[in-house]
Amino acid sequence: MVNRRTAGLPLEYVLGWAQFGGLRIAVEPGVFVPRRRTEFLLREAAAIAGIAARPRPVIVDLCCGSGAVGAALLAAVHGIDLHAADIDPTAVRCARRNIGADGHVYKGDLYEAIPVSLKGRIDILVANAPYVPTDEIALMPPEARLYEAQVALDGGTDGLDVVRRVIAAAPDWLAPGGTLLVETSDRQAPQAVSTLERSGLVARVARSEELNATVAIATMPGTVTIVRAREPST
């Protein structure tokens, strides 16, 4: 194991797992290793799921990679209907292992992978899509640029090619009052918000200095009734 790490193999591949959201997430060589900053995306999604309108909110994790966000949401929020998808077969294999029988994992390109029956029913849509500009991949640490799948890193010329595709179709899939959360960089956040607003969503940006993380959050217009737990009788 020391020899493999010394040769440059990412530690998570050597161990076979990465720590994320208090869980050990299984990772195979080539799959995107979950970053600690993405725990901010997890926290924001879990907080919204905790006050979801329906007692069993539908949550979809696009570009799920190893399934880290989905698995952590299952652990953090009771009674969710989780669906996850990724285009990379290695990632899908890992996600199925991490999410298990408590959720559904599909292979395919963004919304093409998930059941059409979810259209207009998604309460929370989470996407940690690739957002590294193509020209900046060469500047990444070798553990990422040499060992992780290019499809999990490359976001196109400005890093937002996949993010724009996620946003463009989101209004067709979100339920009224549903929320889209997209991890991005602080530099890209204004452009992401502008794209969200042009799609008819009400957008804002959340930031964590602790994790150096930025998440664009947008809500689908519509009226929902928040269901809260009853106070215990005395």
- Cα–Cα distance between 79 and 93 in angstroms, integer? 24
| Burial class (CB within 10 angstroms; exposed 0-12, middle 13-18, buried 19+) of 119 | middle
Q: Where are the domains of the chain?
A: 9-219
214: helix, coil or strand? strand
pTM, full prediction: 0.89
Structural element, H or E, at residue 175: strand 174-184
Written as six digits, the tokens of 42 are: 């997890």
Which fold does the domain 9-219 belong to in CATH? Rossmann fold (3.40.50)
Mean pLDDT by 10 residues, the chain (234 residues): 87 94 95 96 94 82 97 94 96 96 96 96 96 93 90 92 96 96 96 96 96 96 50 35
Instruction: Determine the pLDDT at residue 232.
Output: 36
Instruction: Determine the pLDDT at residue 220.
Output: 93
Structural element, H or E, at residue 105: strand 103-107
